[in-house]
Amino acid sequence: MPALALLDTPVDAFSVDCSGVFIPPSPNSSVDWSPSLSSSLYRIDGWGAPYFTTNPSGNISVRPHGSNTMPHQHIDLMKVVKKATDPRSSGGLALHLPLIVRFPDVLKNRLDSLQSAFELAIRTQGYESRYQGVYPVKCNQDRFIIEDIVEFGSSFRFGLEAGSKPEILLAMSCLCKGDRDAFLVCNGFKDAEYVSLALLGRKLELNTVIVLEQEEELDLVIDLSKKMNVRPVIGLRAKLRTKHSGHFGSTSGEKGKFGLTTVQIIRVVRKLRDVCMLDCLQLLHFHIGSQIPSTALLSDGVSEAAQLYCELVRLGARMEVIDIGGGLGIDYDGSKSGETDLSVAYSLEEYAAAVVASVRFVCDQKSVKHPVICSESGRAIVSHHSVLIFEAVSAGKQHETTPSDLQFLLEGYSEEARGDYESLYGAAMRGDGESCLLYVDQLKQRCVEEFKEGSLSIEQLAGVDGLCEWVTKEIGASDPVLTYNVNLSVFTSIPDFWGIDQLFPIVPIHRLDQRPVARGILSDLTCDSDGKIDKFIGGESSLPLHELDSNGCSGGRYYLGMFLGGAYEEALGGVHNLFGGPSVVRVLQKDGPHGFAVTRAMMGQSSADVLRAMQHEPELMFQTLKHRAEELSSVLKAGGDKGNDKLVVASCLARSFNNMPYLSVGTSTNALTAAINNIAIYYRDEAAVGDGGGCGKNGEWFYSVD
C-alpha cells in the first residue's frame, strides 16, 4: 500500500467546508492595513468612544477628557506602559505586569457627564428640583478612587453609598472632605452597630440616610435613635414588580433579594406614625437591576416607583428624595443594541431624560412636589477609567509535521487498523474530504484503544498521530485557533468572566497598524482548566492577534489591554494559586512632551503578601529556609565543600518572597545561574522593625553575604 504522504494529487484540492471560520490571510497579503481597520476589527469606536481610539503609531490612545480632549492631550497607552515597566536606570518605575492603569481625568469626565446629562434633562423639561447622585463604593473601594470621586463631585454635592460596616466607615471618613449636603446612603443588611454608625454620622453632620432593606430593621432604628438622641433620616427600599429578564434582573421583582413589599411598606408607615417619626421617612429607593438594556424598561420601573413615592406623600411621610438605584449600563460590546447583558441601547442623555420625564409625569398627575432625583450609578462611573495591561508570553504554534512523523509502517498494526488506513487512502484518492475526516477519527480511536491495551508502542501511536494530523491539515480542517499564554490570573483580575460569563473588550494596545495574522484564545498562569478566556465580544470564540516575534516592536513583547473593567473586578478578585493583585499606576494628563504624569505607582502584591493573606507567616518561613541553608552550609564546609549550590538555592528562594508571583518576562530564564556569583542569605531588617518582625523601611527583603 503506497504511503498517503506520497500521493501525486494534492490532498488540499478538496477542502472541507469551513464557511464562517475566519482564517486570516498570510502576512504577505498585498492588502494594506491601518489603525482604522484595527479599530473596526476590534470595535474600538463602539465600546471605546469617547475615551479610547487608535493613533497613527498603531497604539491605543486615551482621550482623558472624552469628547472635549484636544489632539495634543491624547495619551499613548504604550508610553505609559513603557514608563511603568522600564528600569529605574532608564527613567522608568520598574513595575511588573500585570498592570492596572487608572486615569482620574476619565473618572472626572464620567462624573461631569452624568451630572450634565441630568441637568440638561431637568432644564429642558422644566423639572422643579435637582439631581444629586451617589457612588456605590462596592463597585471599587480603592481609597484613591473614592477620594477622587468625593473631590470631583463636591461642587454638585455628589455623595457615596455604603452597604456594609467597613464601607460606611470609609464613606464617613471621605465625606468629611466633601460637601455637607452630599448624601451618604446606607443600604444593605443592618445590625445595631451598623445603625449606630449611621446615626453617629448625623451627629457628625453628615447627610446619612438609613435605607430599610428589611422590615425588622425599623425597630433598631427607632430604639437606637432614641438612645443616641438623634433624629434619623429614613429611607425604604421597595420591591417593584418591574424587572428585566437578563442576568442582572435577578435582584429585582417581587422575589428579589432586597426590599419591602407593599404590605410591609404600609406596616412601616403605620409604625412610624405611631411613634411620631413619620416625618423621618424622606427617601424611596428601588433597583430594577444592573445593565438596564432600554429606556422603555427604565421608564416603566421609574413610573411604578414614582407612584409609590406619591402614595407615601399622601400617607403623610415628608418625602424629599427618589433614589432610582443603579442600572445605568455601559456598552461592553459596542453594538448599542440592548439585546444582551453586554449592551445598552441609550446614551447618558437619553437615560437622564427618561428618568426625569417619568418622575415629572407621575408627580404632576398627583400634584406632588418634584423630588430630588438620586442615582447609584457605580458601573457607569468607574468602568472606563481603568485599563488592565497584561502580556502574552508564548503561543502554542500549529505543529509542523515532519517526514519522520509520517512514517506509518503497516507492520505491527492490527487488521482493523490496516483496514482503516486503506479506507482513508481510498477516500484521499477519490478527493472525498468528508470521508477522510471520518476515517482519520476512526483510525485514531482504534489505535488509541490498542495503545491502552498494550498492543501498540508509543512510536506506532506517534506515527498514526502524525499521519492523521498531516491529513487534517492538508484538507483544510485543522483548527486555526492558537492558544496564547498570558501573564495573568483570570480569577484575580477578571473574576466576572469566570463567575458570570461577563465579557470585556480585550485588544492589543500596539501593533494596530499591522494585520493580525492569527486567531487565539488566552490561557492564564493558573493550574486550573477554567483559567482561560475563550469568549469575546461580538459573539466570537477567538480573538484576532499578531504573531509573537522576538525581533518585533517593544523588544518582541506583546501587550494586551482589558478595557471597561474598573467596576467590581478588583473587589471580587481572589488569590487562586496565590496570584495576587496587579501593579497600579495613576496617570494624569499634563501638557508637555510626554502628555502625562504618573502621580502614584504601586507594585503588585508580592509572594509574601499573598502568603500572609492566607494566614501564613513569611517571616517565619524565611527564617526556616535561612536556618536550613546555614545548616547545610556548615556540614558541607566541614567536608571541604564550599556548599555554594545550597546557598544559592536558599538565596533564590528567599528573593522570591519579595517578588510578584507572576512571570518575570524579559529577564534571565535561569535565575539560579544568574545568582551563583552573588551567594547570599536574605534577612529581614529586624533593627528597623523591632521585635514584631516585618520588613524594612521600603517593605523589602534584604540580603547579605555570609
Question: Which range has the worst mean pLDDT, 60-64, 185-189, 239-243?
Answer: 239-243
Alpha-carbon gap, residue 611 to 620, rounded angstroms: 11
Alpha helices in 315-373 (DSSP H): 348-365
Alpha-carbon gap, residue 121 to 131, rounded angstroms: 10
Residue 684 has pLDDT above 80, yes or no: no
Residue 366 has pLDDT above 90, yes or no: yes
| Cβ neighbours of residue 227 closer than 8 Å, sequence gap 6 or more | none
Identify which of 11-20, 22-31, 472-481, 501-510 has the greatest average pLDDT: 501-510
Residue 649 has pLDDT above 70, yes or no: no
pLDDT of residue 571: 84
Residue 234 has pLDDT above 90, yes or no: yes
Residue 679 has pLDDT above 90, yes or no: no
pLDDT of residue 28: 44
To which residue does cell 448599542 refer? 336
Contact 287/251 with Cβ under 8 angstroms? yes
To which residue does cell 411598606 refer? 265
Task: Tell me the pLDDT band of 694, cut-offs 50, 70 and 90.
Answer: very low
pLDDT of residue 681: 33
Task: Tell me the pLDDT band of 572, cut-offs 50, 70 and 90.
Answer: confident
- State phi, psi for 489 to the nearest 5 degrees: -115, 120
Mean pLDDT within 619-629? 82
Among 405, 335, 582, 480, which residue's Cα sits nearest to residue 22? 480
- DSSP code of residue 662: S
pLDDT tens by residue, 522-565: 998 888 888 899 999 999 999 999 988 754 444 579 999 999 99
Mean pLDDT within 352-368? 98
- Enumerate the β-bridge partners of residue 486: 392
Separation in Å, CA 622 to CA 140, 237, 577, 702: 34, 52, 20, 11
Task: Tell me the pLDDT band of 12, cut-offs 50, 70 and 90.
Answer: very low
Mean pLDDT within 287-316? 95
Separation in Å, CA 407 to CA 52, 460, 469, 477: 53, 9, 13, 21
DSSP notation for 31-69: S---HHHHHHHTTHHHHSTTTEEE-TTSSEEE-TTGGG-
pLDDT of residue 430: 85
Query: To 5 degrees, how large is the angle CA 367–CA 373–CA 379?
Result: 150
Question: Which range has the worst mean pLDDT, 56-60, 211-215, 560-564, 569-573?
Answer: 569-573
Q: What are the boundaries of each domain within the chain? A: 33-103+384-396+480-603, 104-382, 403-475
* Run of H or E including 302: helix 295-314
pLDDT of residue 407: 58
Mean pLDDT within 340-366? 95
Task: Tell me the pLDDT band of 465, cut-offs 50, 70 and 90.
Answer: confident
Give the rounded percent of residues in the chain with a pLDDT score beyond 70: 83
Residue 513 has pLDDT above 70, yes or no: yes
Which is more confidently placed, 404 or 416?
416
Among 348, 254, 237, 236, which residue's Cα sits nearest to residue 292? 348
Mean pLDDT within 459-483? 83
The chain-wide mean pLDDT, for the chain, equals 85
pLDDT of residue 11: 32
Residue 46 has pLDDT above 90, yes or no: yes
Q: Span 33-103+384-396+480-603: which CATH code? A: 2.40.37.10
Active site residue 527: yes
Alpha-carbon gap, residue 92 to 345, rounded angstroms: 42
Residue 693 has pLDDT above 50, yes or no: no
33-103+384-396+480-603 and 104-382 agree in CATH topology:
no
Cell numbers representing residue 133 in the block: 447622585
| Cβ neighbours of residue 369 closer than 8 Å, sequence gap 6 or more | 128, 129, 363
Which is more confidently placed, 633 or 547?
547
Mean pLDDT within 369-388? 96
- CATH number for domain 104-382, candidates 3.40.190.10, 3.20.20.10, 3.40.50.720, 3.20.20.80: 3.20.20.10
* Run of H or E including 571: helix 569-572
Alpha-carbon gap, residue 609 to 603, rounded angstroms: 11
* Run of H or E including 121: helix 104-125
Mean pLDDT within 623-652? 68
- State phi, psi for 224 to the nearest 5 degrees: -70, -35
Alpha-carbon gap, residue 626 to 30, rounded angstroms: 61
Alpha-carbon gap, residue 37 to 559, rounded angstroms: 19
Residue 256 has pLDDT above 90, yes or no: no
CB atoms within 10 A of CB 406: 17
Residue 49 has pLDDT above 70, yes or no: yes
Which is more confidently placed, 426 or 236?
236
pLDDT of residue 413: 86
Residue 54 has pLDDT above 90, yes or no: yes
Task: Tell me the pLDDT band of 644, cut-offs 50, 70 and 90.
Answer: low
Mean pLDDT within 34-47? 95
Mean pLDDT within 52-64? 97
Contact 73/308 with Cβ under 8 angstroms? no
Question: Which range has the worst mean pLDDT, 37-46, 105-114, 223-232, 253-262?
Answer: 253-262
Among 89, 205, 81, which residue's Cα sits nearest to residue 585? 81
Mean pLDDT within 265-269? 97
pLDDT of residue 253: 66
Residue 446 has pLDDT above 60, yes or no: yes
pLDDT of residue 551: 46
Task: Tell me the pLDDT band of 622, cut-offs 50, 70 and 90.
Answer: confident
Task: Tell me the pLDDT band of 593, cut-offs 50, 70 and 90.
Answer: confident
pLDDT tens by residue, 421-435: 888 888 888 888 888
> Most distant CA pair in the chain: distance in Å?
100
DSSP helix/strand/coil, 398? coil
Could you say which of 527, 553, 652, 695 is catalytic? 527
| Cβ neighbours of residue 198 closer than 8 Å, sequence gap 6 or more | 168, 184, 186, 190, 208, 210, 232
| Cβ neighbours of residue 75 closer than 8 Å, sequence gap 6 or more | 61, 62, 64, 103, 587, 589, 595, 596
Residue 20 has pLDDT above 80, yes or no: no
Among 110, 161, 107, which residue's Cα sits nearest to residue 323? 161
